[in-house]
Chains A and B, each alone.
Chain A
Amino acid sequence: MPDRAALLLALLCLAAPAIAGEDAVGPADARRLEHLVLQDCGSCHGLTRKGGLGSPLTPEALAGQDRDLIATVILDGVPNTAMPPWRPLMTEAEAYWIADYLLKDVKK
């Protein structure tokens, strides 16, 4: 996990009250979301995100995808597949946080 320091730094930045908007993702939310990605998304996509019943979510697999599309898939699911809509359980800001989290290691 080489990016833990970077993430921590990002979390500390987010903790500054002046930055946090009404539905922004705060540090406690970020920790919860990171845990959700690892453990609950991991049920289908694998803890290492190499896939399972769900498709792989590794940086290689996500190369070229944009954050809007990923956030939309998270929020609304993919019809006729096992990917459920997460909108009932999270805000749009949280879905975008997860999209960015998944994309952060994708080589530009």
Chain B
Amino acid sequence: MTRLAAFLMCSVLAAPGLAQELRATGDMGVVVERATGSVLIVDQSDHAALARVEGFGDLSHASLVFSPDERFAYVFGRDGGLTKLDLLTQKIVGRVVQAGNSIGGAISDDGKLVAVANYEPGGVNIFDADTLEQVAAIPAGGKALGLEDAPGRRFVFSVWDTGETRIVDMSGAEPKVTTLTNIGAEPYDALITDDGRTYIAGLFGEDGLSAIDLWAETPTARRILPHYGRGQQEMPVYKMPHLEGWAKAGDQIVLPAIHHHEVLWIDARTLEETGRTQTHGQPVFAMARPGGRQVWVNFAHPDNDTVQVIDSMTHQIVGEMVPGPAVLHMEFTARGTEAWVSVRDENKVVIYDTTTLKPIGEIAAESPSGIFFTARAHRMGL
């Protein structure tokens, strides 16, 4: 490893373009270009794209996580590809196609393991973060999704077909798997709160969500917000909502409803409902600005040109922007001063000032989807 590092350093220093300045990665990020199998490496401070890197395969529904030193990104592609990107050399340094059809991944709390959730053939594969060598395969009997890292070198995921959640403890020599059955019908995605305590799975097949207290001696699944849509007409869902580890807004957790055009607020400790906010469309992401003062929401097709901003104290909508057709994702800078918004069908990322809600910059990108800033490296569940 040290020899490799020394070699890498030499080759970096040898390249005249890179030797001119030392570069830290704390204000860098990666933007997924979903249709072209490429990513942009971006500089948050300069509002600039530094490089386009190609060769990631099918990046529809791609996501990524960062190594603890914020140098490497592990990119999870739809086609089962797990690709390791070096942000400094702007090169792919490892790639395995580890399954036929995948849906995201996670990195262990110690940064040593990367796990990928697979639709086909199902289950979760776990890899050495350094070498991308496979170290474990956790079968699931169905489509694995909602894969999150949990404290104690654990991973947690759910299974669409069987309504199960599995906790995979990788702290010992062999994986120790705990299966929680009957968590709810058709879990479609999940999140873990930034304290590493609460795993929440969204359910497609029923009104309600499932929550697991990972601090409990024996974690059990508990239904929350049961029948939240009772008495309301179900709306078609043209894009699945996504749950992400930006859900904690002060003392509350904010969650997108499904089949209903609203976001749901619950108390972070009791998990009881504290309110609802009617929204412009079927929410996809409901993301708390760092600090939790506001929540930004984007929407499913055909309402996906709009972003709404909700005050987390009053639950009122306090801002509405129309960045352009097909807003797919949003990402806040680490302290929440800016939000970067991907506008797929105008091939751009629009940068908003989160105080004025005005655009202050723009970056060209080819069909951009997910935006990921390196500060994620130091947060649980991201």
Which residues of A are in contact with B by a Cβ distance under 8 Å? 35, 38-40, 42-44, 46-48, 50-53, 77, 80, 82, 84-86, 88-89
In the bound complex, residues from chain A placing their C-beta under 8 Å from that of B79 are: 48, 50
Give the shortest distance, in Å, between A33 (CB) and chain B (any CB): 13
| B204 with A82: CB separation less than 8 A | yes
- From A47, A80, A85, give the contact of B35 (CB < 8 A): A47
Q: Choose the segment among B211-219, B232-240, B330-338 that binds chain A (4+ C-beta atoms closer than 8 Å).
A: B232-240
Interface of A is mostly: loop
Task: Sort A-B residue pairs by CB-CB distance and give the 6 closest, nearest first.
Answer: A84-B236, A47-B60, A40-B301, A42-B60, A43-B239, A48-B58
Contact A77 B239, beta carbon cutoff 8 Å: no
* Interface range, B side: 20 to 34
10 A-B residue pairs with Cβ-Cβ distance under 8 Å, sorted by A, are A39-B35, A46-B78, A47-B58, A47-B78, A48-B79, A52-B78, A52-B101, A82-B186, A82-B240, A85-B236
Q: Interface SS of chain B: helix, strand, loop or mixed?
A: loop
B348 is an interface residue with CB less than 8 A from chain A:
no
**Chain B residues numbered 46-65 whose CB sits less than 8 Å from any CB in chain A:** 58-61
Considering the chains assembled together, what is the distance between the CA atoms of A52 and B103 in angstroms? 8
Name B's A-contacting residues (CB within 8 A): 34-35, 58-61, 78-79, 100-101, 103, 119-120, 143, 160, 186, 188, 204-205, 236-240, 301-302, 326, 344-345, 367
B332 vs chain A, min Cβ distance (A): 23
Task: Specify which of B188, B205, B236 lies most central, judged by the most chain A CB atoms within 10 Å of its CB.
Answer: B236
Q: Closest A residue to B185 by CB, please name it.
A: A80
Chain A proximity of B162: nearest CB distance (Å): 15
Chain B residues whose C-beta falls within 8 Å of the C-beta of A51 in the assembled complex: 101, 119-120
Given known pairs A46-B101, A48-B79, A52-B61, the reply for A39 and B326 (CB within 8 Å) is yes
Q: Are A77 and B35 in contact (CB under 8 A)?
A: no
Our pick among B205, B236, B367 for the contact of A39 (Cβ within 8 Å) is B367
* Contact present for B35 and A82 (CB under 8 Å): no
Whether the pair B58, A53 counts as a contact (CB closer than 8 A) is no
- A10: min CB distance to chain B, Å: 22
Q: A88 and B119 in contact (CB under 8 A), knowing A39-B344, A52-B103, A53-B188?
A: no
Residue numbers in B under 8 Å from A53 (CB-CB): 103, 119, 143, 160, 188, 240
